[in-house]
């Protein structure tokens, strides 16, 4: 209810009314419905305890400061930071208008993420992106959920108009919607669709004048002329929140250490996929929670030798 005015207006009056009617009036109704069985007692208990808890929880959310709600919505940054630390990188997450330009200026690479979006975030992204451009810092942009709502789509397009992006990383639906092509999307996820993903990536790269990375069962990396396909990875990555955001940051890490941005992007995808394969193999019987922890371990443990043995990178003719 806290995040939906319509839901609040519909449900809140019923919650309040449920507490204004005396239990001595409602109890006979429950007995008529359920008899003297355990179910009539359960119904009275629910009415007594459940609704007050819901109302109190709602009031707690509503009374919390805006800064605490914003912090709650950015908790995914913890997973990204831990993943980058496992690689040996030094991540800093910054949002404030007052500091993002200075942070971008001293960074080795800048990753712009649209995950938790509002006007303040959009402005911070643009300020940071322009600062990176002025100081020759490579920029990776992750247009999370572009196509899910008009606001997200227009925000992504505005950012691309005002910031020179080196790598645009997203799923097929996000990339398609950024360049004005229709593609189904639900939340921040998309299906493979029926379109040609390689052609989509190449078109986007040419229109936006940047490297485009489309992730899926097969990852496509292209600058419009040279195209790589990476086939490393594991489906369980889709069961852990934040893996896409971390991937964009890993690409940024590889860009910072290479003078060949397109191959560095392909190598980042392969490295990330190999770490996922190894983590999935070690936690095959345990589920996504154990996978998440082991994935961080593998990000730290995958060596150049392991990567050379397992990477599946193909250069399209």
Q: Which of 115, 108, 72, 112 is nearest to 87 (CA)?
A: 108
Q: Residue for token digits 């007052």? A: 98
Residues 6+ apart with CB under 8 A from 203: 179, 181
Q: Residue for token digits 């919607």? A: 177
Q: 173: helix, coil or strand?
A: helix
Q: In the chain, which residue ranges form alpha helices assigned H by DSSP? A: 5-20, 23-34, 38-63, 66-73, 77-87, 97-106, 119-134, 150-162, 172-178, 197-208, 243-256, 261-282, 288-301, 304-310
The neighbour count for residue 108, using CB atoms within 10 Å, is 13
215 marked as binding residue: yes
- Helices 261-282 and 243-256 pack at an angle, to 10 degrees, of 140
Q: Which of 155, 148, 229 is nearest to 196 (CA)?
A: 229
Q: Residue for token digits 């002329």? A: 225
Per the annotation, binding residues for substrate are: 93, 242
Q: Known binding site: residues?
A: 93, 169, 215, 242
Q: Which residues sit in the known binding site for ATP?
A: 169, 215
């Amino acid at each position: 209810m806290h995040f939906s005015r319509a839901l609040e207006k519909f449900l809140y009056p019923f919650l309040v009314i449920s507490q204004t009617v005396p239990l001595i009036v409602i109890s006979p109704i429950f007995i008529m419905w359920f008899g003297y069985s355990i179910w009539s007692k359960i119904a009275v208990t629910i009415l007594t305890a459940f609704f007050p808890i819901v109302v109190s929880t709602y009031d707690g959310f509503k009374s919390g400061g805006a800064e605490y709600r914003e912090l709650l919505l950015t908790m995914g940054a913890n997973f990204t930071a831990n993943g980058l630390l496992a690689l040996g990188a030094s991540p800093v997450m910054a949002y404030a208008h007052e500091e993002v330009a200075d942070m971008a200026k001293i960074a080795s690479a800048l990753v712009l993420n649209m995950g938790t979006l509002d006007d303040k975030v959009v402005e911070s992204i643009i300020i940071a992106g322009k600062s990176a451009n002025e100081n020759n810092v490579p920029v990776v942009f992750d247009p999370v959920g572009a196509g899910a709502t008009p606001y997200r789509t227009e925000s992504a397009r505005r950012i691309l108009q005002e910031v020179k992006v080196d790598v645009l990383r997203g799923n097929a639906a996000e990339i398609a919607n950024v360049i004005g092509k229709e593609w189904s999307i639900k939340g921040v996820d998309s299906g493979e669709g029926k379109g040609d993903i390689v052609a989509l990536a190449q078109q986007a790269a040419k229109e936006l004048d940047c490297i485009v990375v489309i992730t899926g069962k097969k990852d496509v990396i292209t600058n419009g002329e040279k195209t790589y396909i990476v086939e490393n990875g594991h489906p369980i990555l889709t069961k852990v929140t934040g893996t896409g955001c971390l991937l964009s940051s890993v690409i940024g890490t590889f860009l910072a250490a290479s003078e060949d941005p397109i191959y560095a992007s392909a190598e980042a995808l392969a490295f990330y996929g190999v770490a996922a394969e190894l983590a999935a193999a070690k936690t095959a019987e345990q589920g996504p929670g154990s996978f998440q922890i082991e994935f961080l371990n593998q990000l730290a443990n995958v060596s150049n030798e392991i990567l050379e043995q397992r990477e599946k990178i193909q250069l399209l003719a």
